[in-house]
A and B are shown apart, each in its own frame.
Chain A
Amino acid sequence: MAVTATTPTADDIMLDASGMPLKQALAIAERNKRRKALIMALPLLAFILVSFIFPIIQMLFRSIDNPAIHDNIPNLSREIQDWDERAIPDEALFAILADDLRAAGKLKNQGKVATRLNYDITGSRSMITQTARKLKKKTEGPYKDWFIGLNEKWGEMRTWVALKKASQKYTASFYLNSIDMRYSETGKIVAQPEERQIYLTLFWRTFYISIAITLICVFLAYPISFLMATLPVRTSNMLMILVLLPFWTSLLVRTTSWIVLLQTQGTLNDLMVYFGFIDDENRIQMIYNMTGTIVAMSHILLPFMVLPLYSVMKTIPPSYMRAARSLGANQAYAFYKIYLPLTIPGVAAGSILVFILSVGYYITPALVGGRTGQLISNFIAFHMQKSLNWGLAAALGGVLLAAILLIYLAYNRIIGIDKMKMG
């Protein structure tokens, strides 16, 4: 390397006018510049740290964090880890459970334990709450038979296996759950029963809907960007306004307009019935399903494709195409060999932008997606807001994040991020 080749020996270190080594002098001279740059970036850095990096770390932590049982019935959680899973635990463990549940009941924390265990074994919520309630009157043992007599599930192995897994401080069960897997009654990792497998389908659907939206956006944006880059400024400004209009309109208004246009009693169906393309009884369902999601989202995300494409096309001088033509290439060949390759950075930038945005899109599918147009983000929201299973929501988000990072890396390998141009 050139640097090592010219590394000065002790005798011939470059000195500045005052005799200080030149490198040191340069470092001092540049220090202020660096400091200034840091100060200017600081507010944004702090903002990103607080509002972006920290929440993501917290979310990733929550996806493996499992405090509900571990913190609320701490003694049992500790002791059950030594249980060998061969037979129903003995009296000692039941006694610890009784004490812990009683203590939790006093603090009104038995509900948290019950909810958590219910994730793994449906119907175990009532078992916990019932037991905790009855324990207020039963102050001393023996407990084992009393527990089993109260609810026969206490005598089942799967209850205890689940309790052992669920009482660990950190768990992979949210992640397993988010890819349609679970711990079996014997503690092995197995697939969810078929009727409970939904997330892989959802991830897959999110993925191909996003691909479809990206392709539609490329298809729609390419010609319009080309026009904008080649037409006189006045006309191209007009087009630009039309393209940016969706940007400036409220998301809700836009989405609602699509509902008005596309619903079965909507404008488009009315027109098609009026012109006799379809019968009045066979109106086409175009909203509250996947079609609705794709149409509305393509419309919303189109500017993200147009802008990078336009800015790349703007930098391609018309003389390239003219040169190609003068050299003997017809319009189509010149486009394919010269223009298209030069616009790939714009297509790449727009595609990754639209794809990543649509993978995480929430509000539009929620409004117009119906049942078949729901994306993974809608289920993340569901677990955040309705089922309050934040651990699962976080795990789904984590899987999504990992998938996007993977796609981004693959994309970088194939296209090269350094070739991408946003403008």
Chain B
Amino acid sequence: MIDTNDPLVRFIGVQKSYDGEILVVKDFNLDIARGEFLTMLGPSGSGKTTCLMMLAGFEPTTHGDIMLDGKPINNVAPHKRGIGMVFQNYALFPHMSVAENLAFPLEVRGMGKAETEEKVNRALDMVQLGGFGHRRPAQLSGGQQQRVAVARALVFDPQLVLMDEPLGALDKQLREQMQYEIKHIHERLGVTVVYVTHDQSEALTMSNRIAVFEDGIVQQLAAPADLYEKPDNAFVAQFIGENNRLNGIVKEISDDTATVELDSGDMVTAVRINVSQVGERSTLSLRPERVQVNADSTDFNNIFDATVRELIYLGDHIRTRVNVCGNDEFIIKVPNSSNVAHMSEGETIKIGWKTNDCRALDFYEGL
């Protein structure tokens, strides 16, 4: 009946407004495949959590349809959707033991006692918390509570699990460890996960695809590598990873390259992404690790003089801030290899990059 190639979740033209004046979600369309780990990434207030809440059923859509398994669920109550959910602060029931927390969704479904116990134990083992069943959530550390929350969302075998910034309350090290654990659980169970976060490295680590939200619109939906390497617009380039921006006016456009005259008067050639005509303002995006120090013109067609402003030693690389083409915040990551050139502050160096690494995007007015 149901084709497994059909998307599990479809958002079709979904809009959401809380006050009838402002749309926090504007025309949201998204297909989520079965078994996919999809992350909604965006700054706070970008509408990503609202989309999750609409999918979970805690917020009604103002317009548009949400389909689960081919059926519209706009009018299905949250408890009938069969969607597991992990909350920001875990939302473990404090008056129940860990085992009772896990048994809750099974009891609601009228599962027998023996089967419940077996499932609870299996779920606890899955998150390496076997033997913790009798404890109260308050007796567990943050990471353990997090694992219990994940186990509880999975124990009743939902086909879809939603996670709303589940790692936000953990410290950095634990957060990274949990990222891998959740990723591995996802791979093992093949369950579909929709994950919301504002942490881009978290999104890059875990996801099959990432939807970048801003201002109620999905700016780009792509796999992590594409998102980083081929941002569609200036917002995504800026939001994902570290990014150097150079602003200028398009002087010449060919099929896939654009030549831009920077505000400083320098001319740069870049890959043409979304500039359409000569005379338009554009923001060039360039990753810090794609800039070469002491570049020569045989390999690099954009070469400029730069003044070293600041050197920060970071072990594996040296983060170098330079002034180039009138941009005082230009960052270069210089790998800490044995043949690295010695630089000192105030020195003038030659830097260069390839046309293919520099993308001409829409003009970005933000800082």
- Residues of A at under 8 Å CB distance from B? 317, 319-320, 322-330, 333-334, 337-338, 341-342
> Which of these, B77, B83, B87, B94, contacts A342 with CB under 8 Å?
B94
- CB-contacts of B142-156 with A (<8 A): 152-153, 156
Are A326 and B108 within 8 A (Cβ)? no
| CB nearest to B82 among chain A residues | A328
With A322-B58, A322-B78, A323-B85 given, is the CB distance from A328 to B91 under 8 Å? no
Are A330 and B77 within 8 A (Cβ)? yes
Q: B178 to nearest A CB, angstroms?
A: 19
Query: How far, in angstroms, from A398 to B140 measured CA to CA in the complex?
Result: 48
Q: B354 to nearest A CB, angstroms?
A: 49
List of A residues within 8 angstroms of B89 by Cβ: 317, 319
- CB-contacts of B45-69 with A (<8 A): 56-58
List of B residues within 8 angstroms of A322 by Cβ: 56, 58, 78, 85, 87, 91
Are B78 and A320 within 8 A (Cβ)? no
Is chain A's binding surface mostly helix, strand, loop or mixed?
Answer: helix
Query: How far, in angstroms, from A417 to B238 measured CA to CA in the complex?
Result: 56
List of B residues within 8 angstroms of A330 by Cβ: 77, 79
Are A326 and B79 within 8 A (Cβ)? yes
Of A317, A325, A327, the most chain B CB neighbours within 10 A belong to A327
Are B109 and A320 within 8 A (Cβ)? no
Query: How far, in angstroms, from A326 to B77 measured CA to CA in the complex?
Result: 9
Query: How far, in angstroms, from A323 to B152 measured CA to CA in the complex?
Result: 10
- CB-contacts of B90-125 with A (<8 A): 91-95, 104-105, 108-109
Q: Is B84 an interface residue (CB 8 A)?
A: yes
With A326-B83, A327-B104, A333-B108 given, is the CB distance from A319 to B88 under 8 Å? yes
- Residues of B at under 8 Å CB distance from A? 56-58, 77-85, 87-89, 91-95, 104-105, 108-109, 152-153, 156, 162
| CB nearest to A341 among chain B residues | B95
Are A326 and B84 within 8 A (Cβ)? yes
Given contacts A326-B162, A327-B104, 17 further A-B contacts (CB under 8 A): A319-B91, A320-B93, A322-B91, A323-B87, A324-B93, A324-B104, A326-B56, A326-B78, A326-B79, A326-B85, A326-B153, A328-B109, A328-B156, A329-B105, A330-B79, A341-B95, A342-B94
> Which of these, A317, A319, A325, A342, contacts B78 with CB under 8 Å?
A325
> Which of these, A317, A324, A333, A342, contacts B95 with CB under 8 Å?
A342
Are B79 and A325 within 8 A (Cβ)? yes
Q: B78 to nearest A CB, angstroms?
A: 4
Of all A-B residue pairs in the complex, the 8 with the closest CB atoms, nearest first, are A327-B105, A323-B91, A319-B91, A326-B85, A328-B108, A325-B78, A319-B87, A325-B79
Are A329 and B79 within 8 A (Cβ)? yes
Query: How far, in angstroms, from A328 to B57 measured CA to CA in the complex?
Result: 12
Query: How far, in angstroms, from A113 to B206 measured CA to CA in the complex?
Result: 94
With A326-B56, A328-B79, A329-B79 given, is the CB distance from A320 to B104 under 8 Å? no
Are A338 and B93 within 8 A (Cβ)? yes
Q: A420 to nearest B CB, angstroms?
A: 15
List of A residues within 8 angstroms of B84 by Cβ: 326-327
Query: How far, in angstroms, from A342 to B109 measured CA to CA in the complex?
Result: 22
Query: How far, in angstroms, from A322 to B87 measured CA to CA in the complex?
Result: 9
List of A residues within 8 angstroms of B156 by Cβ: 327-328
List of A residues within 8 angstroms of B153 by Cβ: 326-327
List of A residues within 8 angstroms of B56 by Cβ: 322, 326
> Which of these, A328, A338, A342, contacts B105 with CB under 8 Å?
A328
Are A317 and B91 within 8 A (Cβ)? yes
Are A329 and B95 within 8 A (Cβ)? no
Query: How far, in angstroms, from A325 to B56 measured CA to CA in the complex?
Result: 10
With A320-B93, A322-B58, A328-B109 given, is the CB distance from A337 to B79 under 8 Å? no
Query: How far, in angstroms, from A12 to B108 measured CA to CA in the complex?
Result: 59
Query: How far, in angstroms, from A329 to B152 measured CA to CA in the complex?
Result: 14
List of A residues within 8 angstroms of B87 by Cβ: 319, 322-323
Q: B132 to nearest A CB, angstroms?
A: 19
Q: B221 to nearest A CB, angstroms?
A: 25
Q: A406 to nearest B CB, angstroms?
A: 28
